[in-house]
Amino acid sequence: MEIKRPLSKQPIPPDAKKVFHGVIFDVYQWQQKLFDGSYQMFEKLKRPDTVLILAVTEDRKIISSYQEQPGKESFRGLVGGRVDEGETPLEAAKRELREESGYESDDWTLFDAIQPVSKIDWTVYTFVAKKCKKTGDQELEAGEKIKLELVTFEEFTDLIFTREFGDAEIKTKFLEAKLDPAKMAELKKLIIG
């Protein structure tokens, strides 16, 4: 599977200076030439890419998660997490699926790859992992409490539009499918088909 990282609509230019290095975010600044020939300091962030997994069990249930994180409202979503240094997005997706759910899959497809925020150089990759098998226990970090809920495709298409569902990056494709029965059938086939 060849995975291309989508380009930002406002790329950080090569001569930008990294002016801050944080735990998650790095800040870049550069002198941008404006339309009248003057210059202005522009600023953009960079953060590690993340992965989301539409994980489907052998009996065609989608693995949804109910998550608690310290200092944050609890939320529903998919399993997923950050791409670590030196990892490919697919390697990160396989690791996060294993750690957060205890499931593994040999059947991976890229579902979507987007840059959701124009002022952050940050790609969210969403994968479909079919025929997931439980091969072990969850291995959660001290900042994670994750309960899994196995739901049907139809239950999932409702769940993602509830207020407590956090992974906004996948909502657009499902809403578009809701407007068009042919697209919804295609989506269903792609995910649990």
Q: Which residues bind a copy of itself (CB under 8 A)?
A: 9-11, 13, 19-20, 22-25, 27, 29, 32-36, 38, 40-43, 45, 47, 68-73, 75, 116-120, 141-145, 166, 168, 171-172, 175-176, 178-179
Cβ at position 50, least distance to a copy of itself in Å: 11
Nearer residue to a copy of itself within complex by CB, 88 or 172:
172
Nearer residue to a copy of itself within complex by CB, 28 or 108:
28
Cβ at position 170, least distance to a copy of itself in Å: 13
Strands (E), the chain: 17-21, 26-33, 39-46, 50-57, 62-68, 75-77, 79-82, 103-104, 107-114, 120-121, 124-134, 145-151
Cβ at position 148, least distance to a copy of itself in Å: 17
Nearer residue to a copy of itself within complex by CB, 118 or 135:
118
Cβ at position 130, least distance to a copy of itself in Å: 27
- Point out which residues pair with 133 in neighbouring strands: 104
Residue among 85, 97, 15 at smallest CA distance from 56:
97
Rg of the chain in Å (alpha carbons): 19
User: Residue 76 CA to chain centroid, in angstroms?
Assistant: 14
Nearer residue to a copy of itself within complex by CB, 3 or 34:
34
Nearer residue to a copy of itself within complex by CB, 23 or 182:
23
- Point out which residues pair with 165 in neighbouring strands: 76
Please count the other Cβ atoms lying within 10 Å of the Cβ belonging to residue 102: 17
Cβ at position 53, least distance to a copy of itself in Å: 19
Nearer residue to a copy of itself within complex by CB, 14 or 86:
14
Cβ at position 142, least distance to a copy of itself in Å: 4
In the chain, helix, strand, coil percent, each to 5? 20, 40, 40
Do 174 and 187 contact (CB within 8 A), yes or no? yes
d(CA 133, CA 58): 7
